[in-house]
Chains A and B, each alone.
Chain A
Amino acid sequence: MFLEDFGASIQIAFTYFTIIYITGLGGLFSERSGIVNIGLEGMMIIGTVTGSYGTFYFSTELDMGVPLGPILGLLFGLLCGALFALIHAVATITFRVDHIVSGVVINLVAIGLARFLSAVFFGQATQSPPGQPKLSPIDIPLLSDLPWGLGRAFQQLSPMVIVAILLLIPVWYSLNRTRWGLRLRSCGENPEATRSLGVSVPLYRYQGVLLSGALAGLAGAFLAIEESQFWREGQTQGLGFIALAALILSNWNPIRLLWAAFLFGFAQAIPLRLDDFFLFAWLPPQFIRMIPYVVTIVAIAGFVGKVRPPAAAGRAYEGGGAL
């Protein structure tokens, strides 16, 4: 049944949405503060391996069970993502290394570090023992009873999906309605003027980058714990770059990011359930996976709408306070 498959696709899309959205919010904090972060993928990779280990350690070794084990695992991934992002922050803010160069190195280092950590944690470099515990899935009231198989979309969702959607509220509020958010954004638009008001630009940029690592790490941990229930090498499959694409398409706006992340999450989910649908019969699944990238290129090239990144993002800030 097409509608049933459609419902199931939406359900899978929610999982990918969560990963893309949380990571994209991370990129949002970093880039709005003026630090371009193409290292999201790497930070997510660190989140997958550490999140998986955290769950393994807290639920199995310390026997904390569900839900405490997976929750602590998620938080451990978040913490390690932030720690790893510290490298990007020190390089770009304190030492003023080119943001893109540092991001590329972050992604390279992450792959190696993940293998190393996995060897240390699990005794093998490429995966953890499978079948680790996860949070109990939930059905959304009312929506999960929708007829024609559409309810399938809202059944057996990870509670983290709800958390991800609700994240919009604190993110939007802190960015747009607090002094902290105003200052963070102004660091990304005009750091010189910001400094003239007595605000420490490096301080805010450090916070932006650390937040991006924390959120990317959380998303990675979610991927390993909630989606796969184990860690394996190559698990992120470029989702960090898709998050970056969603961020660009959303024009660095958290509300639009919500839609972009869902759209791209759906594009990831289609090949898993809907590939026998007549429209896709002539379109190989691999081409559907290209959609987020193609859409972003089209947007960047200015064929549709206008993409405007934070004015000072990517530019080295030469003011005082850093080396």
Chain B
Amino acid sequence: MAASPATVPAAAIRERPSWLEPLLVQVAALLLALLISLAIGAVIIILYGENPIDVYSAILEFAFRDATSFGTVLSIATPLIFSALAVAVCFKAGLFNIGVEGQFLVGMVTATWAALHLGFLPGALLAVGVLVFAMLGGMAFAAIPAVLKVKTGAHEVVTTIMLNGIAVSFLAWALNGPLKFTATEGAFNVDLRSDKFSTDALMPNIGEAFGMKPSADFSLLFPLALVAAALVWFLFKRMRLGYEARAVGSSPGSAQAGGISIGAVQIKVFLISGALAGLIGMQQLLVDKGALVQNYEAQLGFVGIGVAFLGQNNPIGIVFAAIFWSVLSRGESALQINTEVPREFVIILQGIFIMTVVIVYQVARRWAARRQLAREGAIDNMEDSSATDDIEGLAREDA
């Protein structure tokens, strides 16, 4: 802005490390949002004549009481980690991939096809093949908005919303046609689904090694999700493409002036995002159900947007955000068993929480930016800036 760039680092170094303050603001904002939403939740609980502390501790207790419980939480978190990573990768490059939902559905279709048709692959190679096809499906579907954006300028938000609708119908068609079960024995009272996969295609359940019962559905996919998070971290911290993506995301003009091909970066980032999105469905496909079923769990791509926001698009933050989200989701059963509050209360709490987080982060960011400007003494010579408008507006409201 108007301030000379040299003053910024100087001022920051004198006080504290430059990364500390944004981090503190973020943590404070997160805690504030948590407090606000727990308070709103408490009001609802009290209306049901229950004690909020009892209800909240029932939710926590249900998630952490033993290894199996926590394993279940981690299995719920697994698809959310993939989903939020897919969102975050695009977000860092200034792209909003609302199509994660559609890419995940197409990934399930291609993975199902692979699981049913690549049986010639020996042993565990089949599972690998299925994962690769899931990623390819997601990538192919992510390539459409990417290419349209680069070639025609079509905004990715609109195209991906439309592609989500297409993906829902595509999956319905696949399940009614090419992927429909062929083993008809006793099938007339079976819900519409694909044939069951062979065990080689499934993800091995590794819960026993951690003292969990098989019902936790804790499989190799969770460590894979952690690996994905690490890779995304590495991409943005250590790789050229990650650097270029961040440059395109924060300042397309300077990125182009610096010799970065914006279009190429956007397409690559979208493909990576699509590959991650393709893996979202693997928990239900290869661990929970062992087939593609008609009443599959949808919306995971949208929940990922919320989780990515909670984690502030940071891979480590995303892992914790996904686990936190899953602790709440698991709490649904706790409510049903232990309290009069309907289990759907948890979904409301999640919704209130994510909305509060979004708003509090936004307010905190503006507050931090204003403080920064004030510290630089830049406000005086920025008559027309948004910052002074804000302050005028506030002053008027106060009056």
A87-B163 CB under 8 A given contacts A95-B362, A297-B148, A320-B396: no
**Contacting B344 at CB < 8 Å: which of A105, A116, A241, A318?**
A116
B:95-114 near A, CB below 8 Å:
96, 98
Smallest Cβ-Cβ distance to B303: which chain A residue: A108
Kindly list chain B residues whose C-beta atoms are within 8 Å of the C-beta of A87.
Answer: 355
Q: Which of A6-14, A221-229, A282-290 contacts B (4 or more CB under 8 A)?
A: A282-290
Kindly list chain B residues whose C-beta atoms are within 8 Å of the C-beta of A302.
Answer: 152-154
Interface of B is mostly: helix
Assess whether B342 is in contact with A113, with CB atoms less than 8 Å apart.
Answer: no
Assess whether B392 is in contact with A320, with CB atoms less than 8 Å apart.
Answer: yes
Min Cβ gap B26→A in Å is 16
Kindly list chain B residues whose C-beta atoms are within 8 Å of the C-beta of A97.
Answer: 358-359, 362
Q: Which of B117-125, B171-179, B218-226 contacts A (4 or more CB under 8 A)?
A: B171-179
A68 beta carbon closer than 8 Å to chain B: no
Assess whether B394 is in contact with A286, with CB atoms less than 8 Å apart.
Answer: no
Min Cβ gap A238→B in Å is 5
Assess whether B351 is in contact with A245, with CB atoms less than 8 Å apart.
Answer: no
**Which of A104, A125, A318 counts the most chain B CB atoms within 10 A?**
A104
B162 beta carbon closer than 8 Å to chain A: yes
Kindly list chain A residues whose C-beta atoms are within 8 Å of the C-beta of B164.
Answer: 238, 241
Assess whether A284 is in contact with B165, with CB atoms less than 8 Å apart.
Answer: no
Interface size on B, residues (CB 8 A): 53
A96-B362 CB under 8 A given contacts A286-B176, A292-B165, A301-B148: yes
B:360-394 near A, CB below 8 Å:
362-363, 366, 386, 389-390, 392-394
Assess whether A108 is in contact with B306, with CB atoms less than 8 Å apart.
Answer: yes
Kindly list chain B residues whose C-beta atoms are within 8 Å of the C-beta of A182.
Answer: none
A320-B177 CB under 8 A given contacts A101-B358, A119-B344, A287-B169: no
Min Cβ gap B300→A in Å is 11
Assess whether A112 is in contact with B396, with CB atoms less than 8 Å apart.
Answer: no
Smallest Cβ-Cβ distance to B175: which chain A residue: A286
A323-B161 CB under 8 A given contacts A238-B168, A286-B172: no
B199 beta carbon closer than 8 Å to chain A: no
Smallest Cβ-Cβ distance to A300: which chain B residue: B154
**Contacting A115 at CB < 8 Å: which of B148, B302, B309, B344?**
B344
Kindly list chain B residues whose C-beta atoms are within 8 Å of the C-beta of A297.
Answer: 148, 154, 159, 162-163
Kindly list chain B residues whose C-beta atoms are within 8 Å of the C-beta of A318.
Answer: 386, 389-390
Smallest Cβ-Cβ distance to B309: which chain A residue: A101
B126 beta carbon closer than 8 Å to chain A: no
Assess whether A91 is in contact with B348, with CB atoms less than 8 Å apart.
Answer: no
Q: How far is the CA of A107 from the CA of B301 in the complex (A)?
A: 12
**Contacting B98 at CB < 8 Å: which of A104, A115, A238, A322?**
A104
Interface size on A, residues (CB 8 A): 49
Assess whether B165 is in contact with A238, with CB atoms less than 8 Å apart.
Answer: yes
Q: Mark B272-306, 1 if CB is under 8 A from A, else 0.
A: 00000000000000000000000000010011011
A137 beta carbon closer than 8 Å to chain B: no
Assess whether B155 is in contact with A112, with CB atoms less than 8 Å apart.
Answer: no
Kindly list chain A residues whose C-beta atoms are within 8 Å of the C-beta of B74.
Answer: none
A319 beta carbon closer than 8 Å to chain B: yes
B166 beta carbon closer than 8 Å to chain A: yes
Min Cβ gap B219→A in Å is 26
A244 beta carbon closer than 8 Å to chain B: yes
Kindly list chain A residues whose C-beta atoms are within 8 Å of the C-beta of B342.
Answer: 116, 119-120, 125
Smallest Cβ-Cβ distance to A117: which chain B residue: B344
Assess whether A102 is in contact with B166, with CB atoms less than 8 Å apart.
Answer: no
Kindly list chain A residues whose C-beta atoms are within 8 Å of the C-beta of B392.
Answer: 320
A284-B177 CB under 8 A given contacts A297-B162, A297-B163: yes
Kindly list chain B residues whose C-beta atoms are within 8 Å of the C-beta of A112.
Answer: 344, 347-348, 350-351
Min Cβ gap B270→A in Å is 15
Assess whether B306 is in contact with A105, with CB atoms less than 8 Å apart.
Answer: yes
Min Cβ gap B390→A in Å is 7
B354 beta carbon closer than 8 Å to chain A: yes
Q: Mark A78-110, 1 if CB is under 8 A from B, else 0.
A: 000000000100010001110011101101110
A71 beta carbon closer than 8 Å to chain B: no
B31 beta carbon closer than 8 Å to chain A: no
A322-B148 CB under 8 A given contacts A245-B162, A289-B169: no
A143 beta carbon closer than 8 Å to chain B: no
B345 beta carbon closer than 8 Å to chain A: yes
A248 beta carbon closer than 8 Å to chain B: yes
**Contacting A100 at CB < 8 Å: which of B157, B345, B354?**
B157
B158 beta carbon closer than 8 Å to chain A: yes
Min Cβ gap B66→A in Å is 28
Assess whether A38 is in contact with B161, with CB atoms less than 8 Å apart.
Answer: yes
A300-B96 CB under 8 A given contacts A112-B347, A116-B342: no
Known contacts A284-B177, A293-B165; 14 additional CB pairs below 8 A are A96-B362, A96-B366, A105-B354, A109-B351, A109-B352, A111-B347, A245-B165, A290-B169, A297-B148, A300-B154, A300-B158, A302-B153, A318-B389, A320-B390
Instruction: Show 10 A/B contacts (Cβ-Cβ < 8 Å), sorted by A.
Output: A104-B98, A104-B302, A107-B302, A113-B347, A113-B348, A116-B344, A119-B344, A300-B154, A319-B389, A323-B397
Which residue numbers of A lie inside 8 Å of B, CB to CB? 38, 87, 91, 95-97, 100-102, 104-105, 107-109, 111-113, 115-116, 118-120, 125, 238, 241-242, 244-245, 248, 284, 286-287, 289-290, 292-294, 296-297, 300-303, 318-323
